[in-house]
Amino acid sequence: MPSALECGRGLAEGASDLAEIWRDLVGHFEAAESKSRNATVLGGFIYEAHQRDTGFAETSLEAAIENPALARSLPYLQARIGIDEAGIARLRRAIEKGALQSFDFMSIANGTVGDSPPEALALLLLDIADLPDGVEIALDILHMHFYRDREAGRQRNPTLIALGRNLLRRTDFSKKGTLRDYGLHTIIRVCCTGSDGEATARDVCANIRGAMEVCYLSRHDLSHVLKALFETHPAAGLDMFLLPEMTSRNHRLFDADFSFGTPVENMDPAVLRQWADQDAATRYTLLGRAISMFRRKVDDEEDNGISPLFLDMLNYAPDKRAFLGDFWTRLHPRSWSGSLADILARRKAQVLTFRESPYADVRQWVDAILPELDRRIDHERSRDREGEESFE
């Protein structure tokens, strides 16, 4: 069975009078309830009509701006014949006349903008960004253009890079449901790389910190964004996220735990040491909170071995007991599956290796936490037995 798009193409291909069929199709579209309108047949028709008669297609789309029922499908219809210079100008006129909303442009947040002229596209994206909730839509579209640049091996356009910095500075990270984490990762890597992008990276970090004041953010919400920020400007990320006190609702965003890694754990140890050595007494302790004692697997689960990065930072930390932290923050998982007693027992086996440390304060830390660790293991073993007996 042919698709709706193919039906539309077939109607245009066989039409003796394109204008007449178009009027009929538009009439049926207008007659439908607004929530059930679907422009796919119209899209197929205008695509094929453009192949036959460019002037007709251009005139029909221009007229759509003035049609209250059809106007909001204009970005989709324009994409069927191409988001070129003339099409971008048409879309901008529609925005100026108040015929379009930002969400209408979701239909071009795809490969259709890959070959759009960069300077003209930048002007369109600025217009979209000025619409309510438009910044996020503009970023989606820009991401797809950059993605197509990478596929085609093209040099990124300086005008679009400047635009990306503008949009990143305007991003509201408290809108968790509307931001596309992976797309922002691409834009940050393109627009913030190099010394010219450092100021933008710091502004983005500040925006995220501002969002933390009003809502809870998790690493799931921002995992790719944070990764890109720490990759492009690690010092900026460390300054902005580790030095100030985190708000109560987000204070664990950069704490290492049993389940999830932090961007810090993927950084070059030399870069971390360079940053920490600027104020060793304070900064190594902060790094200790952000780096897990245990290695992580590819799926971010705990491994049984001690993390090489953790050992490296511990060796350089001037206050090793402060770097190690207390029993609860260092060894007790915040989430887990299976037996907690087994998890703590495995962790104890690793902790005991630190009794061979050349540093007296590390050995003292082990001696200090072992009684509490043993009590916790015994307690959890008892709970496991009670649960098994209850099940039986």
pLDDT at 258: 43
Mean pLDDT of the chain: 90
Q: What is the mean pLDDT of residues 141-167?
A: 93
The percent of residues in the chain predicted with pLDDT above 70, rounded, is 91
Confidence band for 174, pLDDT divided at 50, 70 and 90: confident
**pLDDT over 90 (residue 254):** no
pLDDT tens digits, residue range 351-367? 999 999 999 999 999 99
User: Tokens 């630190």 map to which residue?
Assistant: 354
Q: Give the three-state DSSP class for 341.
A: helix
pLDDT at 260: 55
What would the two tokens of residue 263 be? 């961007």
pLDDT at 294: 84
How distant, in Å, are the alpha carbons of 128, 254, 275 from that of 243?
Answer: 36, 11, 11
Give the DSSP per-residue string, 164-220.
HHHHHHH--TT-TTT--HHHHHHHHHHHS-SGGGHHHHHHHHHHHHHHHTTS---HH
Confidence band for 391, pLDDT divided at 50, 70 and 90: low
**pLDDT over 60 (residue 191):** yes
Domain assignments of the chain as residue spans, ordered by start = 1-81
Runs of H (alpha helix) within the chain:
4-14, 18-31, 40-52, 54-64, 74-81, 85-96, 118-129, 134-152, 158-170, 181-191, 198-212, 219-232, 234-242, 269-276, 280-290, 308-316, 320-324, 327-331, 340-352, 360-391
> How far apart are alpha carbons 99 and 64 in whole angstroms?
10
Torsional sign, CA 18, 24, 26, 29: negative
289 within 8 A of 325, measured Cβ to Cβ: yes
pLDDT at 318: 97
pLDDT tens digits, residue range 302-338? 555 789 999 999 999 999 999 999 888 888 877 777 8
Structure-model confidence comparison of residues 259 and 208, the more confident one: 208
Q: What is the CA radius of gyration of the chain?
A: 28
pLDDT tens digits, residue range 3-48? 999 999 999 999 999 999 999 999 999 999 988 999 999 999 999 9
How distant, in Å, are the alpha carbons of 4, 241, 277, 285, 327 from that of 269?
Answer: 56, 18, 12, 15, 25
Which distant-in-sequence residues (6+ apart) come within 8 Å of 303 by Cβ? 294, 295, 296, 297
User: Tokens 């049609």 map to which residue?
Assistant: 67
Q: What is the mean pLDDT of residues 131-136?
A: 95
Q: What is the mean pLDDT of residues 211-239?
A: 88
pTM of the model: 0.85
Which distant-in-sequence residues (6+ apart) come within 8 Å of 214 by Cβ? 174
Kindly report the backbone phi and psi dihedral angles of residue 369, in degrees, each rounded to the nearest multiple of 5, phi listed first.
-90, -20
pLDDT tens digits, residue range 258-304? 445 688 988 999 999 999 999 999 999 999 988 988 887 655 455 55
pLDDT at 235: 94
